[in-house]
Structure 1
């Protein structure tokens, strides 16, 4: 197991020293450098007032673009746009689809609410035709999804890199996209994959959109989400803000002009503090020589320790046969999911909360997230509190 990184998370850890926070997949602790970054954002605003945007757009944002591109192996950092949440990007992507007919969307039955709620609402009014491929059984999902996509006729293909309600990780993105027709938008939701699993987008950067954000394993908090936009797709979103006109402009027929790079997916004025926090995190990771592979290895070591502890305790309230994805045999994100039934999941979640352990549940599924701010001591401690329950 890699060493402990707790020294970089003292502010969060000391704010609630008795809490065991195993919800890294939901609300990751922020490293201490983000506190100084947040103060720096305030001080820049006080010092420069409206002139702060020259710093935000000319210094902070390009550095964050370069850092994200480095971790994802993107060939061009300018392909990245930013927004306060991924739902803004979902709306802009949907606004690029054909208006003269009902757009056809292929997705899975395991996508996060920012997408599933929006397309379900469009479905209600006959404004979208949606095909959903069941994620389970996991072993055949990639094959079944690729088969559905290869039939053609879709305007958008939207799928998660790591599924939020199970932890199952979709690997082989290059192979998945290889047989697809060139026309449909391909969108990869990487929110549970970015800085949680090694991700190399170089081979698919010209074909697929990729969206993620800072709230989870990027450790940067709210309000800083990003979208990689491949060249040639979605050149003029109908849902557009005035920031999309920054930079090199392109226009057709004398109409509304757009930036020629990923900036075409920008919205309007936003709070830049999330960018400051993300820049600080990216700098910290560089100083620590940590990438997604190192973060994932740290989380996997903690997961293994947790599962071995449960194996040694046969009367566990968390039976291993209830584990939805076993990371020892299947590709998995940095959290574990147990399907316990609605009543048992909510009951154990409440019992853990009363014992000072933060987890979360979705219906029948209780989830445990692992991150850099934990070490072996925390895993042993949660096993002890589970035993007490």
Structure 2
């Protein structure tokens, strides 16, 4: 089975390219091209009244898609922004005392890693990082550190961007969360629409951030925050969109929406939400759920992993597979392979028209709907050639 026809525009732009970085810049489906055009048409048709349409139709559609994907109770817990870094800043700003005591890991994405380093330098935060390695014991070690009870903010990835390891103890962290602290934030960027994710049991106690750049196929600009009621009621970094709705606050002071809308920012490019909605509706039209797409990607990953293990992919037989495909449970939508020559291999593959991704000594191969088994065969042959 092939779904390449859904991505005909993107594939036609570089017909000889093999793009195995679906975990990075996922190619955009044809439906998003039409959605981008519609965003332009709506902006110029409605002009000054464009925001009535966006907040009246576009955003509620996007919220409904996220609610359905994650099992949330209400769309009112969701706000959108251009990137997750912006959303992290807003949550951090809601802590009333400094320094903020943060528990995290040494495997978080750079949007948090760099900012946390700078908060630490400035005396704004004290950051404790639990090492990912050895990963077999990571979850137990992290939960134990969280239970120690001396942190204000617990930040952890659902799926770790470098290694593809999956954290499966979110419910244990949610059990610790309190409005007075600690707050728990899960970075779901490599989990959202990569693997089925049900937050219904924990959504009333955790923050969750993700976006559309990767598996949601919407490109940059379609990031979101789920904020539980009662947590972080008055972020210091706040935009004027947070002034609209059911407001609460001290007499004479700055008032905020009482739902997740308290984290709204200000004017943003809404075209990404058009693309996000179009991608979700395209999948629905095809009868494809996240579970279906994940299974499809798993099948391709299994083919490639088998070639790596057997030696059919040449020098890749020397790698350490950090996240092998095991069973049919939740997993990353990429294979992470560690080797000292990972950087050099990626360079050679790029020269051969194969797009992969590398983080330090880990080369990553991501799988999606715009590939098929024939592409995997070509990938294996390309790897063999280096």
TM-score by length of 1: 0.96
Q: Tell me the equivalent position of 2:356.
A: 359
CA gap 1:331/1:72 in 2 versus in 1, 3 angstroms: closer
The answer as to 2:123 corresponding to 1:126 is yes
Report the Cα offset of residue 173 of structure 1: 2.1
Q: Which moved more, 1:240-249 or 1:226-235?
A: 240-249
Is 2:176 aligned against 1:147?
A: no
Give the Å deviation of 1:313: 2.1
Contact 1:149 1:180 in 2 (8 A): no
**Whole-Å Cα distance in 2 between the matches of residues 260 and 285 of structure 1?**
33
Asked if the contact 1:106/1:158 (under 8 Å) is kept, the reply is yes
Q: 2:166 aligns with which of 129, 145, 169?
A: 169
Q: Is the 8 A contact 1:326 1:332 kept in 2?
A: no
8 A contact 1:150–1:181 mirrored in 2 = no
Give the Å deviation of 1:176.
Answer: 4.1
User: Greater shift after overlay, 180-189 or 199-208?
Assistant: 180-189
Equivalent positions of 1:1-389 (< 5 A) are: 3-99=1-97, 101-179=98-176, 183-313=181-311, 316-319=314-317, 321-328=319-326, 332-341=331-340, 344-389=341-386
C-alpha separation in 2, matches of 1:246 and 1:135: 42
Gaps of 5+ in 1: none
Asked if structure 2 preserves the Cα contact closer than 8 Å seen for 1:160 and 1:190, the reply is yes
The 8 Å contact of residues 173 and 184 in structure 2, kept in 1 or not, is answered as no
Count of residue correspondences = 384
**Secondary structure class of the residue paired with 2:314:** coil
Contact 1:171 1:331 in 2 (8 A): no
For the 8 Å contact 2:311–2:317, the answer to whether it is kept is no
Q: Say which SS state the counterpart of residue 224 (structure 2) adopts.
A: strand
Once the two structures are TM-superposed, the CA of residue 252 in structure 1 deviates from its matched residue by 2.3
Shift of residue 315, structure 1, vs aligned partner: 7.3
Name the CA distance, whole Å, in 1 between partners of 2:95 and 2:106: 21
Q: State the alpha-carbon separation in 1 of the partners of residues 99 and 313 from structure 2.
A: 53
Deviation for aligned residue 1:103: 1.0
CA distance in 1: counterparts of 2:210 and 2:248, whole angstroms: 26
Offset, 1:132: 0.5
Please provide the CA RMSD for this pair: 1.5
Cα pair distance change 1:142/1:202, threshold 3 Å: same
Conserved? CA contact 1:170–1:331, under 8 Å: no
Matches of 1:64 and 1:125 in 2, distance apart? Answer: 37
Paired with 1:349 and 1:82, the residues of 2 have a C-alpha distance of: 34
**Distance apart, 1:266 and its partner CA:** 1.0
Q: Secondary structure at the match of 1:131?
A: strand
Deviation at 1:212, TM superposition (A): 0.2
Relative to 1, partners in 2 of residues 1:119 and 1:13: Cα closer, same or farther, differing over 3 Å? same
2:234 & 2:198 partners in 1: Cα distance?
Answer: 27
Q: Is the 8 A contact 1:142 1:176 kept in 2?
A: no
SS at match of 1:130: strand
| Rounded Cα–Cα distance in structure 2 between residues aligned with 1:160 and 1:326 | 19
Change (3 A) 1:180 1:246: closer
Counterparts of 1:45 and 1:315, CA distance in 2: 49
